[in-house]
């Protein structure tokens, strides 16, 4: 982020690192997604330029979207639905006529073991979330959020790593409320009814091993409730041919299963899901902070806010010669099969975006694809970005993996800056020096377009070589 723009953040009443650091996680994520979506509108520069310097520009801008109240309504309805489903499910499972006990396997399997397996599956899914193939529930929830809040774009929400984690966390909150409703409903039914629990099996007749299994299963709460005794297990078995509860020598024993059922729902169903929510919240905060730190949207926004004249984002009809002796093309059409961008999205639809994930992921992608590069591969960056050692390593690794490939650096120059501005000259010199150090050609342009064919655009190539 440039120093001259950073110096003016205090005048605008907002600090970049703290602009989206107020409110809860839901507000932060939705505010950031709305902010990024709004900057894709064609007239955003004129609207931003009208903000008064000295005011909290970010807060003024976000107030236009009325984000939090409507979008949070979707989360509230989702939690309400989870609670109602939990109550209805438990009341249905405990429908008790007195002719036969409530199936113990159903209570333990459906309300403790199954939720545990679903939590483990959700954890595995959370580790592999991607914008290309998001889970169906996340897409559904994103579309619902967009429907109630016009400022939130579902596609932008799914493209954002923090947005995907937030969506996944909200779905897990549904599971937490559902499990909590199960437990509360279970206790309420027991308070006003005498429920007998038993187990039955066609295949298991003499279950001498069952007490040992239950001793292991109930180990987490044996400090609070003793493990089921062999007598309790024996007296709880019933048969379809003689299913009357009264056949038990001591029918009161059949009600002693409730502490174990309740603790199983808490230990195996509720606690793991809560831990997953906590982990997702922490990870979403970290990812959101990284997205904001690596993004150029704030830089662009504050540049416009600090302009005192009307923004004229028209592309100059001819290449602009700056005092930095760099030729800036008005537009550049690239006919290359491979366009790789660095930490930024481009309208020219690059093949991939490097620098957003772990280095190991970028390295693996290069190993899988760099060998297929033929002709020229264009590396797309934006003027506001800072050349880094990591980007240099990417270029070096690509050269090692494919010695025949030719990499050209394409720098998209910010159309907001006036030609010959001190900031622009400094940035262009930085990128020119970086390209010289890496021994690659560099092209400066104000707009990047990509054609569908794979033939090399000789015109654009010639403009690049002219430099």
pLDDT attached to residue 115: 93
Q: How far apart are CA 257 and CA 8, in angstroms?
A: 67
Categorize the per-residue pLDDT at 10 as very low, low, confident or very high, splitting at 50, 70 and 90.
Answer: very low
pLDDT at 383 over 60: yes
pLDDT attached to residue 251: 61
CB 94 within 8 A of CB 191: no
The larger pLDDT score, comparing residue 37 to residue 179, is at 179
The larger pLDDT score, comparing residue 371 to residue 20, is at 371
pLDDT at 5 over 60: no
- Could you tell me the domains of the chain? 1-312 (no CATH), 320-465 (3.40.50)
User: What percentage of residues in the chain have a pLDDT greater than 90?
Assistant: 13
The larger pLDDT score, comparing residue 233 to residue 119, is at 119
pLDDT attached to residue 388: 77
Report which listed range, 267-281, 302-316, 397-411, is most confident: 267-281
196: left (phi over 0), alpha (psi -120 to 50) or beta: beta
Q: Tens of pLDDT along 146-159?
A: 776 666 777 777 87
pLDDT at 270 over 90: yes
Mean pLDDT across the chain: 74
What is the pLDDT averaged over residues 55-80? 65
Sign of CA dihedral 293, 294, 298, 300: positive
Q: Tens of pLDDT along 168-203?
A: 898 899 999 999 999 999 999 888 887 888 887 777
pLDDT attached to residue 58: 62
pLDDT at 394 over 70: yes
Q: Tens of pLDDT along 418-437?
A: 555 666 777 788 888 888 88
DSSP 316-373: PSS-EE-TT--EEES-EEE--S-EEEESS--TT--SEEESSS-HHHHHHHHHHHGGG-
pLDDT attached to residue 3: 44
What is the pLDDT averaged over residues 196-223? 81
The two structure tokens encoding residue 276: 């997953």
Residue 378: count other Cβ atoms within 10 Å of its Cβ: 25
pLDDT attached to residue 114: 94
pLDDT attached to residue 349: 64
pLDDT attached to residue 456: 39
Choice among 152-161, 201-210, 267-276, 453-462 with the minimum mean pLDDT? 453-462
pLDDT at 25 over 50: yes
pLDDT at 245 over 50: no
Categorize the per-residue pLDDT at 43 as very low, low, confident or very high, splitting at 50, 70 and 90.
Answer: low
Q: Tens of pLDDT along 26-36?
A: 777 877 777 77
Runs of H (alpha helix) within 17-113: 25-38, 44-49, 57-63, 67-93, 104-108
CB 434 within 8 A of CB 392: yes
pTM: 0.61
The larger pLDDT score, comparing residue 371 to residue 14, is at 371
Q: Tens of pLDDT along 291-338?
A: 877 766 666 676 666 654 333 444 444 444 444 456 777 766 776 667
pLDDT attached to residue 308: 42
pLDDT attached to residue 265: 94
pLDDT attached to residue 135: 79
pLDDT at 454 over 80: no
CB 200 within 8 A of CB 239: yes
The larger pLDDT score, comparing residue 44 to residue 393, is at 393
The larger pLDDT score, comparing residue 147 to residue 290, is at 290
The larger pLDDT score, comparing residue 175 to residue 241, is at 175
Beta strand pairing status for 320-321 and 327-329?
Answer: antiparallel
The larger pLDDT score, comparing residue 52 to residue 108, is at 108
Q: State the burial class of residue 112 (Cβ atoms within 10 Å of its Cβ: 0-12, 13-18, 19+).
A: buried
Q: Tens of pLDDT along 93-139?
A: 887 666 678 888 888 989 999 999 999 998 998 888 776 677 777 88
Q: How far apart are CA 220 and CA 14, in angstroms?
A: 49
The larger pLDDT score, comparing residue 165 to residue 339, is at 165
pLDDT attached to residue 55: 42
Q: DSSP 3-state helix, strand, coil percentages of the chain (rounded to 5)? A: 55, 10, 35
The larger pLDDT score, comparing residue 406 to residue 201, is at 406
């Amino acid at each position: 982020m440039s120093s001259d723009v950073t110096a003016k953040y205090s005048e605008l009443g907002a600090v970049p690192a703290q602009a989206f650091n107020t409110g809860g996680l839901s507000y932060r994520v939705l505010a950031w997604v709305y902010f990024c979506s709004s900057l894709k509108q064609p007239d955003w520069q004129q609207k931003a330029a009208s903000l008064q310097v000295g005011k909290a520009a970010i807060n003024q801008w976000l107030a236009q979207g009325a984000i939090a109240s409507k979008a949070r309504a979707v989360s509230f309805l989702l939690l309400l639905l989870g609670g109602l489903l939990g109550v209805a499910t438990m009341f249905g499972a405990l429908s008790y006529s007195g002719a036969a006990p409530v199936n113990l396997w159903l209570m333990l399997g459906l309300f403790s073991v199954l939720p545990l397996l679903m939590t483990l599956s959700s954890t595995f899914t959370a580790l592999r979330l991607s914008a290309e193939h998001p889970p169906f529930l996340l897409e559904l929830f994103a579309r619902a959020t967009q429907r109630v809040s016009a400022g939130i774009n579902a596609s932008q929400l799914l493209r954002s790593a923090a947005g995907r984690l937030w969506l996944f966390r909200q779905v897990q909150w549904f599971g937490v409320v559902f499990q909590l409703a199960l437990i509360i409903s279970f206790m309420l039914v027991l308070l006003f009814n005498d429920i007998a629990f038993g187990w039955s099996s066609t295949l298991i007749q003499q279950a001498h091993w069952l007490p040992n299994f239950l001793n292991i299963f109930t180990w987490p709460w044996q400090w609070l409730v003793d493990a089921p005794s062999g007598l309790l297990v024996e007296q709880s078995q019933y048969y379809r041919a003689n299913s009357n509860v009264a056949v038990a020598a001591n029918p009161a024993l059949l009600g002693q299963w409730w502490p174990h059922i309740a603790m199983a729902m808490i230990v195996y169903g509720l606690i793991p899901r809560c831990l997953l929510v906590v982990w997702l919240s922490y990870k979403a905060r970290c990812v959101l902070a990284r997205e904001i730190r690596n993004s150029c949207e704030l830089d662009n926004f504050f540049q416009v806010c600090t302009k005192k004249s009307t923004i004229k984002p028209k592309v100059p009809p001819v290449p602009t010669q700056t005092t930095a002796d760099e030729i800036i093309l008005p537009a550049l059409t690239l006919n290359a099969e491979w366009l790789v961008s660095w930490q930024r999205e481009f309208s020219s639809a690059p093949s991939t975006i490097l620098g957003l994930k772990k280095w190991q992921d970028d390295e693996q992608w290069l190993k899988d694809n760099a060998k297929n590069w033929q002709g020229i591969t264009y590396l797309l960056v934006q003027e506001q970005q800072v050349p880094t050692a990591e980007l240099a390593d990417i270029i070096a690794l690509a050269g090692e993996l494919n010695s025949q490939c030719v990499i050209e650096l394409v720098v998209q120059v910010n159309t907001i800056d006036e030609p010959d501005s001190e900031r622009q000259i400094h940035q262009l010199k930085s990128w020119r020096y970086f390209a010289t150090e890496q021994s690659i050609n560099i092209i400066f342009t104000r707009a990047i377009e990509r054609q569908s064919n794979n033939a090399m655009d000789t015109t654009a190539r010639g403009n690049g070589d002219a430099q």
